[in-house]
Chain A
Amino acid sequence: QQPVQSPQAVILREGEDAVINCSSSKALYSVHWYRQKHGEAPVFLMILLKGGEQKGHEKISASFNEKKQQSSLYLTASQLSYSGTYFCGTETDSWGKLQFGAGTQVVVTP
């Protein structure tokens, strides 16, 4: 079952912060975050395994609350290069199959 992502879209000025949420109705083994720019392949950002970790990639970080089956992606001091569609992918077991959320379109303006 597809995880639910929110918001659907967000518009930011350079330097502003944003949070993208991903929630599942099933117990999760891991959460993956990807960014896709128009017409390109999704690019892996980070993976969070169950255990409540927080990870970072540049000024992008994420948290995973396995009890609530939720993950959040934090875009801090956003840059123009952060524009794109962010997808969370969830695993319910360790076999590697991901279910992707509907995506959150992020537009960062000068």
Chain B
Amino acid sequence: GAVVSQHPSRVICKSGTSVKIECRSLDFQATTMFWYRQFPKQSLMLMATSNEGSKATYEQGVEKDKFLINHASLTLSTLTVTSAHPEDSSFYICSASDRSSPLKNIQYFGAGTRLSVL
């Protein structure tokens, strides 16, 4: 149980284009989803938190117009990197938790998306 699916696993795009990453909870209701960015051999840096049906809350220093997050249903959240540039190249990982369950604090992670911007 508690499977989170993230697509695509890898994307290469040209500078200036937008890229959408999907994060789905397959067997539970993801009332809250988190988006992280991870640089090589570094920790996971929280970018934003989204609750189903609400606007995302962004961490300090994260441009909300650059990283658009939508969490329209209990099983799907999307991260759109708009007008991507080479410095946006990174590993993006989503996680999901069910805040209505007794295990509400546990985050289940997707497999991540490696974004390379040329």
Q: Which one of A51-59, A60-68, A75-83, A94-102 is at the interface?
A: A94-102
In whole angstroms, what is the CA distance A47 to B111 when docked?
20
Q: At the interface, yes or no: B20 with Cβ under 8 Å from chain A?
A: no
Given contacts A41-B112, A42-B93, contact A98 B43 (CB under 8 A): no
Q: At the interface, yes or no: A30 with Cβ under 8 Å from chain B?
A: yes
Q: At the interface, yes or no: B105 with Cβ under 8 Å from chain A?
A: yes
Note all chain A residues with C-beta closer than 8 A to B44. 42, 87, 100
- A100 in complex: contacting residue of B4, B43, B110, CB < 8 Å: B43
Q: Is the CB of B105 within 8 A of A47?
A: yes
- B109 in complex: contacting residue of A39, A42, A91, A99, CB < 8 Å: A42
Closest beta carbon of chain B to A12's beta carbon, Å: 19
Of chain B, the residue at the smallest CB distance from A94 is B105
In whole angstroms, what is the CA distance A94 to B99 when docked?
10
In whole angstroms, what is the CA distance A27 to B86 when docked?
38
Q: At the interface, yes or no: B72 with Cβ under 8 Å from chain A?
A: no
| Tally of A interface residues using CB under 8 Å | 24
- B42 in complex: contacting residue of A47, A97, A102, CB < 8 Å: A102
Q: At the interface, yes or no: B67 with Cβ under 8 Å from chain A?
A: no
Q: Which of A32, A40, A42 has the most CB of B within 10 A?
A: A42
Residue pairs across A and B with Cβ atoms less than 8 A apart, 25 shown, are A2-B43, A30-B105, A32-B106, A34-B109, A41-B6, A41-B109, A41-B112, A42-B93, A42-B109, A47-B105, A47-B106, A87-B43, A91-B105, A96-B34, A96-B104, A97-B34, A97-B46, A97-B49, A98-B46, A98-B107, A100-B44, A100-B46, A101-B43, A102-B43, A103-B41
